[in-house]
Chains A and B, each alone.
Chain A
Amino acid sequence: MNNEIVDLHLNDPQVRKTWEDFLTSLGITDFQSQETAAIDFTLGIYEGDRLVATGSAAGNILKYIGVCNKGVDQGSRFNTIVSALISRLFQQQIFHLFVFTKLKYSDSFQHVGFHELAHSDVAALLETGDSSIDDYLDAIPRVADQTNKRVAGIVMNANPFTQGHRYLVERAASENDVVYVFVVNTDASLFNTAERFELVKQGTADLKNVIVVNGGDYMVSYATFPAYFLPTPDQQVDYQTTLDARIFRDRIAPALNIKTRYLGTEPLSRTTGIYNQVLQRELPPQVAVKIVDRKTTTDGTIVTATAVRKAIADDQLDSLAALLPPSTINFINQHLESLQFRIKKGMNINGN
């Protein structure tokens, strides 16, 4: 089986060790379980019994790509393995792919048709496939004469939409002509994407200059910022959020004339805390950052979605009235059982 593509079954301890040793020899050393558990399949190329190339996919993201070029044309094995990964994902009807890689490999991926979305000093994020960030931006609604308007943006997961989110949006809406609210698209939260999106829409329906749009793959998604959804060391959070911030600064904000991004302070989540710091470092001067203090209830409690999720888990709905707009309260009352069932089934409610 010389130079043929084979499936690597990482559950097999021996295969796993060969794979880890090979990647380690190439400088890829992060085999934490939350990274490797997300892998859907892994391909490899052997020469004799020596592994010489490998690549994996997790959802629509390529991961753990490593190639040894000894004795062959530079790049040929890389092309073979990437080509095999792409065809396999296409068979699964996954047509839009991302790769998060070290900066020095960005060129290699661009050579096989990927386009770079953003890069930092250490890492780059690229995409390929049947849709691109330009298609995403083209599909976002705009207002007349937008280039001469004051436009602001807010990115939120809104899990679920609280009075705190509402306060932030109101504030932005009163200070700008147009406010884009981007709702995180990745479906990894207690309230699913459709529910979160709908609750943001209902909760802001009376604010006429607010446009609610799906954040797609480009804002706080599994591709740009996996640490938002997975426990991750601080350093990596910084790497990932730097790319997320630069995509916003260099691609999204200019296309929509967004001049200000509003952030809520985040006293409870360490990851979001780092994200906010990175945004303040990366976005200005192109995009101003406005930090709005957390809304507190009349008795001084900080309004957070984390507290709301806990109240749902504990069946303490009385406490919610002060924290939520009526549309969100109605939704929770109507869907309480199914939400509690999701928590029982193991949905994590302490993250984001």
Chain B
Amino acid sequence: MEIKQTALAGTLESSDIQIMLSKGTDGITIDLESDVEKQFGDQIRKVITDTLAEFDIDNVKVKAVDKGALDCVIKARTIAVAQRALQTQNQPAWEAF
């Protein structure tokens, strides 16, 4: 599925992650900026990819700026940004939690 609009969730504060989704043409591409990229880059990418998969989003550009977010935060921000991008934020996807 493709997204409907560019969307953003999260902040650049410590322990948070800012995620932006925009229209993509080449599957899920993730541009990740993180101080712990070396240690946790793959894990961060996996959480984002898995969460997007629950929304059936398979064609999207992801830009993520991580400031040391835990997995649960990454997941929550990804859910928020996915719902905003799909314009379904008024129908929370409880099953995705």
Which residues from chain A sit less than 8 Å from chain B, CB to CB?
73, 76, 79-80, 82-83, 86-87, 90, 95, 110-113, 128-131
**Which one, A76, A90, A95, A130, contacts B13 given CB within 8 A?**
A76
B: number of interface residues (CB 8 Å): 17
Q: Which of B39-47, B51-59, B61-69, B87-95 contacts A (4 or more CB under 8 A)?
A: B61-69
Interface residues of B in 19-36 (CB under 8 A from A): 20, 22-23, 33, 35
Residue of B nearest to A93 (CB): B6
Smallest CB separation, A126 vs chain B (Å) = 12
Is B8 within 8 A of A83, CB to CB?
A: no
Is B33 within 8 A of A80, CB to CB?
A: no
Enumerate chain B residues within 8 angstroms of A110, measured Cβ to Cβ.
33
Is A87 within 8 A of B14, CB to CB?
A: no
Is A83 within 8 A of B12, CB to CB?
A: yes
**Given the contacts A95-B6, A130-B6, A82 and B22 also touching, CB distance less than 8 Å:** no
Rounded to whole angstroms, the CA-CA distance of A80 and B13 in the bound complex is 6
7 more A-B contacts (CB under 8 A) besides A79-B11, A79-B67, A90-B8? A73-B14, A79-B14, A80-B13, A87-B11, A111-B33, A128-B63, A130-B63
Say yes or no: is B78 at the interface (Cβ < 8 Å to chain A). Answer: no
Rounded to whole angstroms, the CA-CA distance of A82 and B22 in the bound complex is 20
Is A129 within 8 A of B14, CB to CB?
A: no
Smallest CB separation, B14 vs chain A (Å) = 6
A-B contact pairs, 13 of them (CB 8 A): A73-B14, A76-B13, A79-B67, A83-B11, A86-B12, A86-B18, A111-B33, A113-B12, A113-B33, A113-B64, A129-B20, A130-B6, A131-B22
Is B20 within 8 A of A130, CB to CB?
A: yes
Rounded to whole angstroms, the CA-CA distance of A110 and B31 in the bound complex is 12
Smallest CB separation, B92 vs chain A (Å) = 21
Enumerate chain B residues within 8 angstroms of A130, measured Cβ to Cβ.
6, 20, 22-23, 61, 63
